[in-house]
Amino acid sequence: MEELKVGIIGCGRPLSSEGSTGYGMSHWHARGYAAADCRLTALADVNLENAHAFQLEHGAERVYQDYREMLAEENLDIVSVCTWPPLHPEMVVAAANASVRAIHCEKPIAPTYAESLQMVEACRRSGVQLTFNHQRRFASVFRSAKALLDAGEIGKLVRLEGTCSNLFDWGTHWFDMFCYYNDEQPVEWVLGQADWRDGPTHFGVPMEGQGLSYFRFHNGVYGLLVTGLGSTWEASNRLVGEDGVIEVGCADGTGLRLQNSAQTGWRVIEARSDLGGVKITQDGVIDLVKALRSGREPELSAARAIRATELIFATYQSSRRGGRIDLPLHPESDA
């Protein structure tokens, strides 16, 4: 089997370690590459202390303080970008121009839709496989919900609903899952509203304090995402069909449940509630490596991820304009 050489940009610290600001996603990427029989060759981090600590834990032959130097010196096959969103565009474009074969980037993609498209286009021009870590596609509870839908347990799909804290950082996952449930159908239009009062800032990007996104897929299915203040419903995801409802991540602690005309009340479905964590991130890395080796589209492909990103920025634009936004979204519309 072909050995693939990997470089990681942004080592960071593990989750809950002193001074950490995120989940230490680079550590989870590294475990995925190890499981996929790849060779971790080089690391780049502006904080060399973090890079050397990472090297001690996961290996890697060389450490760099400047990721550009790493890209110039190393003949890498795959690069993981595990930095904050404002840094993603320059790093992904630089890696694409360095003739790597694949790039795996953390989400959200970028602070603007124009930058997101630039990243995707740079990789398309260079023939680079680009993926983004919407890892929930590999969680058992979501896959089980999709299997129930595909088996006809709730009849024809009518509407998809979700709740979370914000549209950008967490909402990108739910928008992506809506597309996953609905067989990657494109969206026709978006009607949204965002209120920025009391909104937090995550990874250098301001978030709304309260948001609402309502949209329609080409096949007639509707989507609804409610964020921030007042967004705590009975479930994180709800799939509504003509003959029933599937709920995922329920407020009572139930991971997955189903209600339809064939039964009275809810039926709890056994499914592991692996909504986050190293296992599904690792599965995403394994999948992108298999895709690179075989030439197929990876599950976390940029073509899929950009749809979720388009929904985020179409919602923001709809709020600013006070009206419906018909897609595709113009790349400069969020400037």
The letter for the amino acid at 319 is: S
Statement: residue 16 has pLDDT above 80: no
Cβ contacts of 107 within 8 Å, gap of 6 or more: 85, 132, 133, 134, 172, 173, 305
User: Tens digit of pLDDT for each residue in 272-308?
Assistant: 666 557 899 999 999 999 999 999 999 999 999 999 9
Out of 15-29, 125-139, 244-258, 296-310, pick the least confident: 15-29
Q: Quote the percentage of the chain above a pLDDT of 70.
A: 95
* Most confident segment among 7-16, 131-140, 222-231: 131-140
Statement: residue 326 has pLDDT above 50: yes
Say what the pLDDT of residue 289 is.
98
Say what the pLDDT of residue 152 is.
98
* Helix (H) / strand (E) containing 97: helix 88-97
Say what the pLDDT of residue 274 is.
64
- Domain ranges within the chain, ordered by starting residue: 5-135+279-299, 139-268
Mean pLDDT of the chain: 94
User: How far apart, in Å, do the first and last CA atoms of the chain sit?
Assistant: 46
Q: How far apart are CA 75 and CA 212, in angstroms?
A: 45
Say what the pLDDT of residue 14 is.
67
Which CATH superfamily includes the segment(s) 139-268? Answer: Dihydrodipicolinate Reductase; domain 2 (3.30.360.10)
State pTM to two decimals.
0.95
Say what the pLDDT of residue 275 is.
57
Q: How far apart are CA 104 and CA 81, in angstroms?
A: 6
Q: How far apart are CA 326 and CA 191, in angstroms?
A: 9
The alpha carbon dihedral of 94, 100, 106, 110 has a sign of positive
Say what the pLDDT of residue 335 is.
45
Across 18-46, average pLDDT:
90
CATH architecture of 5-135+279-299: 3-Layer(aba) Sandwich (3.40)
DSSP 296: P
Statement: residue 20 has pLDDT above 80: no
Instruction: Give 257's pLDDT tier (boundaries 50, 70, 90).
Output: very high
DSSP 87: G
Helix (H, G, I), strand (E, B) or coil at 218: coil
**From start to end of 110-268, where are the E strands?**
129-132, 157-164, 187-195, 201-202, 205-206, 210-217, 222-228, 235-241, 244-250, 256-260, 267-268
Q: In what order do the strands lie in the sheet with 222-228?
A: 267-268, 256-260, 244-250, 235-241, 157-164, 222-228, 210-217, 187-195, 325-326
Q: How far apart are CA 277 and CA 112, in angstroms?
A: 27
Helix (H, G, I), strand (E, B) or coil at 180: helix
User: Tens digit of pLDDT for each residue in 200-224?
Assistant: 998 999 999 999 999 999 999 999 9
